[in-house]
Amino acid sequence: MNMTLVSNLINGISLGSVYAIIALGYTMVYGIAKMLNFAHGDVIMVGAYMCFCSMTYLSLPPIVSILIAMVVCTLLGVIVEVLAYRPLRKASSLAVLITAIGVSYLLQNAALLIWGSAPKTFSSVVPFGSVSLFNGDLIITGESIVTVAACVVIMICLTVFTKKSRMGKAMRAVSEDKDAAQLMGINVNKTIAITFAIGSALAAIAGVLLCSAYPALTPTTGSMPGIKAFTAAVFGGIGSIPGAMIGGVLLGVIEIFSKSYISSELADAIVFGVLIVVLLVKPTGLLGKKITEKV
């Protein structure tokens, strides 16, 4: 067995799992609010900085630091939704898109003012090291194991939540038809705010896992992973929770294999090129459903 191939596959699945967790935030917000929150990638960065500050300056345990990062990002997501997006509920999609880009730059520049441009060295939150298999021929990092496990647990919990809980059913109703859901007594604003809260909490987890594997933390840390996670959401079928996970994992595997066997400089181009091919063949993504407008 080619251990290099297996190692690359594991690294790809690990990276893809981070993309999948981020993509879940994109896909939930789009599925329910029908908008693209391009500031989502910067929420990842804020979560990573919160965890970094808690561990470095307050000397708090990793699990407590992660919880603080999740709480801060949850509040940030709700505040952004209430102040920036809620007033634009009836506005054009272009106005919402421009606002999202504005929020993204606001968060990046705020981080630049607070923490500066110099990269911070992020300490891993994983409590154990690498696992060695096949007499040391295959080494799996603790970060890879925890990242994949976290992605699977999060996807299962989200799927159960949206299908079984009262709020999950409300989310699906708002996703189908906001006006009809409101007539049935569902608080649309509250439902969308909770969606942003969940997506932002997931972004914090993704930021911590990403920086545990790739320790350099800067104000632009979340930009490219955010774009790639959005690509993963579209790849899998935006609005689909399983689609976000499948799209994220496939994207991570394609990226790692491209870097290992083709060119590290061309890896990103190959990733986006694959997306274009998939959308040409299946415009709704791998698990997306075609929506028909009723008139």
How confident is the model at residue 294, as a pLDDT?
47
Angle among Cα 28, 32, 15 to the nearest 5 degrees reads 10
Half-sphere exposure of 285 (CA within 13 A, CB side): 26
pLDDT tens per residue across span 209-265: 999 888 889 999 988 888 888 888 888 887 788 888 888 999 999 999 998 888 888
Residue 117 domain-assigned (yes or no)? yes
How confident is the model at residue 45, as a pLDDT?
94
How confident is the model at residue 288, as a pLDDT?
67
Residue 47 domain-assigned (yes or no)? yes
Answer positive or negative: Cα dihedral of 25, 31, 36, 37: negative
d(CA 109, CA 136): 44
| Residue 295 pLDDT grade (very low, low, confident, very high; cuts 50, 70, 90) | very low
Residue 290 domain-assigned (yes or no)? no
Averaged confidence pLDDT in the chain: 87
Q: By three-state DSSP, how is residue 140 classified?
A: strand
| Residue 31 pLDDT grade (very low, low, confident, very high; cuts 50, 70, 90) | confident
pLDDT tens per residue across span 126-176: 877 777 777 777 888 888 899 999 999 999 999 899 888 888 888 888 888
Q: How many separate domains does the chain show?
A: 1
> What CATH number did the domain enclosing 116 receive?
1.10.3470
pLDDT tens per residue across span 72-95: 999 999 999 999 998 988 888 888
d(CA 115, CA 216): 13
Predicted confidence (pLDDT) at residue 35 exceeds the cutoff of 60: yes
Residue 287 domain-assigned (yes or no)? no
